[in-house]
Structure 1
Amino acid sequence: MSVTSLAAAVRRRIELAGDGYPPLYPAVTLAGSAGLTIAAVVQRLPLEPPWWALLGAAIATLSLIVDIWIPTKMACAILAAVAVALMLMDPVPVDVAPLLLALMTAIAAAMESLRRGLAVAALSVAVVVVGSQTGHLQSPTVYVLAILCGWLVGYMILYQKLLSQNELRDQQTRSERAASEERRRIAREVHDVIAHSLSITMLNVTGARRALQEGADGEALEALEDAERIGRQAMTEIRYIVKVLGSSDDSSAPTPRARDIDQLVDDFRKAGVAVSFDVNVDLESIPAPLGAALYRITQESLANVVKHSRSHTATVTLTADPDIVLCVRNPHSPPAPGRSSPDGSGTGGSGTGGSGIDGMKQRAQLLGGVVDAGGHQKAWVVRAAFPGHLDDAVRQAG
């Protein structure tokens, strides 16, 4: 085995010995244990039979090897206690050997459970007390305090590690929640773009077919041009969404504004939907996030008029007094054969189940608004209401 591979293997073992702590932590504790062992032996030079200090140093070295290869620190703590007890058989003034117990207690407190950490601390204190009672150790109080301080420092490190792990889990949860919200947002955008473009395209194609049957080539050409324009616009939006998803660029995709509702209504009118648009608010003054929500809700509602209503007529009103209220209303009648109702009840209207209504409600909730959809007096009504003072909500959503 080469020196490089051996060093890499030792590094991996040190990282495993750290049990989740940075590699520097186990490296420092191993070096500290080795340094204290060497210092304790040097204090006892020249060594004389029965070689208690030498045997203690050998067991202390064995504890370092066990520390690298065995995840639990209990075996290391027991071996360290035996090593210190043997070294105390050769008493010296100002002995550094018991400091090995303080270090091992700190390691156990930082890397084992509370019960095991306290058990190691009790074992270390017992070795010091027995050594002092047999006359082999002076000033036992100092060493007991060192052991208790070691346990306290180790437990504080363990507590900090647990806090860091909890924070990491919280960050992962927040990240997953944000990713889920982003997926839902993208799904809403794609759904709205496709539903709107396909609805108008199909109306234009149907109109072109009828115009060709009636010999009105000019009307057919105009309808096909509108269908082509809407289709190209939808493809442009979809391509941009895909581009943003595959790019690390922080630029945001161009979003429709409130002023674009006029063009939206006009597109539906050209496709054959009789849409009445009544607005008593300056569309230019509506903030971008709110304007995008109003546009998408109007878009989804009108697209569903095409999909679910037998009568292609609708009324769109936008008021601000002081709440900003968008209302899309269309006649409420039983669906034609083969058509599903928006709510599953067998009635047609501008609302739709699943991602349609859910998407509109999610958009409104992001800005503190609400969306209601249902049948009212022979009409299907989608009503979106937003608070008149939206500065904070708009800044947060934007």
Structure 2
Amino acid sequence: MEEARVRTWWRALRRAVAGPDVPPVRPPLDRWPRLAPYAGPVGLLVLVGLFAATLATETDRHLPGIVPILFAALTVAPLLALPRRPLLAWRLTIVALATCTFNAPPDAAWPWNPVLVLGSLLVLAVVAARVDRRVLVWVGLLTMVPVVALVDRDHRVGVLVLVLTLLVLGDLVRGNRLSRRALAAQTALSEREQERRAVLEERTRIARELHDVVAHHMSMIAVQAETAPYRLADVPDGARAEFAAIAGSAREALTDMRRLLGVLRSESTGPETAPQPGLADLPAMVDAARRAGLAVTLDAPAPAGGTPAPAGLAAYRIVQEGLANAARHAAGAAVRVSVRPGRHALAVRVENAAGGGDATAAERGAGHGLAGMRERALALGGTFAAGPADGGGYVVDALLPYDGEDGDG
């Protein structure tokens, strides 16, 4: 355990001294794209000004030759590397703190020029907010070396306290940023999981409803197959055996469907004994919506040859959800419901005008109703589309085939 801990801290030291830099972050100017074109020129002017100010202060030390220019360049270089390479900027700062002290006035409180002092503090604050804690410990210790060695006793403690304060504040900023990122990622994950769960619950509900419809038809097949030999005269023995086989297969299918329903139905969901709704129940639902204050018009002529129960059930549920969405998001708007039967498909359309006011975030919900309507249409091999209308409002269109083929509507 101790050996592993030593190796961990040794890797952190190598990372601080000569390891790869921290990954770049999103530039703050991305939030203000209009200012981005001016950032480069303004930054260049600031660096030139700092270079000139540093050069002016270094002339007081009477340094020989081009040494003042080299010291001024070394003072400004960390600020140039700081936005994208903070660790490199800190390393250059340490070199500057160790070298830019020649011919300093003996009575000066600081052995460095003011630009280097302020730049070093800025670099240290940025590095503290970007690197992990182990690397930050080494950064702090190595930064304190030139402070302890070169700053006079009267100011040494104050400088060390300032350095330690910057390290702690930077680490708090980094921890807060990481916490916000983790919270945002967890929130996004929770939303995706909630959407996935809603879709799965809707599919399960559709499967249960289709089970009830199909089970009814299978029961009718079994009963008709068992009673057919008694309703027909002179039925050959071979035909009786075939009717018995049909009835037996239908009952086996019913048994398998009941087992499937036991898997789909949750423990908290009891058996549904009420008949599933269909097209014949649309007028009663529309009347209930009108009594609730929704202005609804219904255009749903009865199909000539009847509609299979799965398509009728899907049409009823789509209209039901469409009316609920109109009541939530377009209160007071007129709603038109159209269910037009074709030779092979039902064309369902729910259209509402623009509402009087915008719905609040709580009223909008998570939008799982549209996912449920789409699942019902696709389960029958149909199509589904929903979106804003040209003149305002919202339109929901679904095509529900009787036999899995696109029909005319």
On whether the aligned pair clears a TM of 0.5, the verdict is no
Bucket of the pairwise TM-score, normalised by the shorter protein: 0.3 to 0.5
What TM-score does the superposition give when structure 2 sets the normalisation length? 0.42
